[in-house]
Structure 1
């Protein structure tokens, strides 16, 4: 999704408690006209968690018939976008000619690389009735030597995403390796993305990785004597054998992996080089990006222009 919020970076706070917890991130909530988005990354003092540079929680949003998600074509460079829905459906189109409905449990991986344009709308059958949308949008930075890789699109139906039962806690590993299973979703560096559902009182040992962001999409948990409320994210360094315990029924999302180094971000552009972002801005204003196949008439202007 396009970065529609007027402020890119969010606040954060340091905490005491579990020794592995470095920060707790709280979201900036933005109303985008009919639905809200909670942004956790990037944050002041924490631009990346592993290779992840962007984390938005959208909804849940209830739309009446005739309304819904309608994001016009917009560009990206230097990243791969990941869309994961809890409820609802989004219709993805891009400049490669991809046309794909995204449904709950699917992983939609769009590799921007040297440059891609996409739109996010809804099928007429969806928008014609009252409906709900709820999910996560994440951006994954590409390693510096792969930032200019040719753009690509990959869609993984929910049935292809591996699951594990860890002492009664169901876990899905969307990207990377954890809990004895490996996701088929393509990665570019050491990357982890998983979710877990815990009943009140259940505990889960977090997977080992260099950096980990643990987000409470619903519910509340504790890590030792550190409390983590709904819609907040704990940033952990080397979480070896850290145990999280649910205070109530809880849905967790975990992102992490090995850090990639500094990235510059402006609007929908991410790069290890400032001059590459300047070039992307010029290319978008000059109309040099390839248009979205089947969605050629509209586009989102560069902010401030």
Structure 2
């Protein structure tokens, strides 16, 4: 019997001046463990007249995880952090009770061709930490646990799994693992996982129960402890998940919470422009999209 509960295909979504492939949330599966939102960004080549510019916008109730394969993004936030995100590093911003940030092409790369490719992820906070003070951490590529087993290359991007612990300061039991293959291999790591698990195929493919799955597919497991499959040669996959929360989470635009009243308050606060602003990036912002807002 197949261990695959659900297959989610990437769906096109617009995040301003940039198209992405949306994986979560999905109507039949809102979250996988604490992971509530995943966008596959690119791959896309921007010409010298184009820039990646996500204007200042707010979040509550979550941590953002940015992981680039190629390209570069300048992160700025209202805590005063200004840092260039490069491939292989992890940008981990915890919005808590509320934080504004922007993501732009760095000044030294503007007006130059740029290739962009990566993952943008939201991880919901436990209920008792949804209103915590905002925090920011940047973990370099060299700090991410990386190892090889035969022709398989592993990275533990966040959380704990496979006997390793990532330095990314997460707030719940979760894991995000990268696996790259040079040749066809059987992978069996289910006994090392817990909670819920999803497997995203970036390139190459996997075979499970006689079925071949291809890029741009997210496979959600029935049971994370039965995570066994054959990975094809020259493949890259991401396995993520963890312990689900007992309470439902609601999403409205960039706001996540178990309490709808907190979302309503954040909406009014942003409409009134009373969030703390980003020093040096406070002349533009993304307005609250009243025309298509819905609480999920």
Residues 151 and 182 of structure 2 are in contact (CA less than 8 Å); yes or no, is this contact kept in structure 1? no
Moved more, 247-256 or 148-157: 247-256
- 1:221 is aligned to 2:206: yes
Structure 2 segments unaligned to the other structure (5+ residues):
292-296
Paired position in structure 2 for 1:264: 250
Paired position in structure 2 for 1:300: 286
Write the distance in 1 (CA, Å) between the matches of 2:92 and 2:13: 24
Paired position in structure 1 for 2:21: 38
The equivalent position to 1:171 in structure 2, one of 150, 154, 159, is 154
| TM-score, length basis structure 2 | 0.93
Q: Secondary structure at the match of 2:276?
A: coil
Q: Secondary structure at the match of 2:133?
A: coil
- 1:130 is aligned to 2:113: yes
CA drift at 1:200: 4.0
Change in 2 beyond 3 A, CA 1:78/1:34: closer
Write the distance in 2 (CA, Å) between the matches of 1:22 and 1:68: 39
Aligned residues: CA RMSD: 1.5
Residues 90 and 140 of structure 2 are in contact (CA less than 8 Å); yes or no, is this contact kept in structure 1? yes
The equivalent position to 1:190 in structure 2, one of 154, 164, 173, is 173
Residues 34 and 63 of structure 1 are in contact (CA less than 8 Å); yes or no, is this contact kept in structure 2? no
Moved more, 176-185 or 285-294: 176-185
Paired position in structure 2 for 1:111: 94
| TM-score, length basis structure 1 | 0.90
User: What per-residue deviation string (whole Å, max 9, x for no partner) do you get for residues 107-129 of structure 1?
Assistant: 00000000000000011221232
Write the distance in 2 (CA, Å) between the matches of 1:255 and 1:238: 13
How many residues align? The count is: 288
CA drift at 1:228: 1.9
Structure 1 segments unaligned to the other structure (5+ residues):
1-16
Aligned pairs for 1:63-78 within 5 A: 63-78=46-61
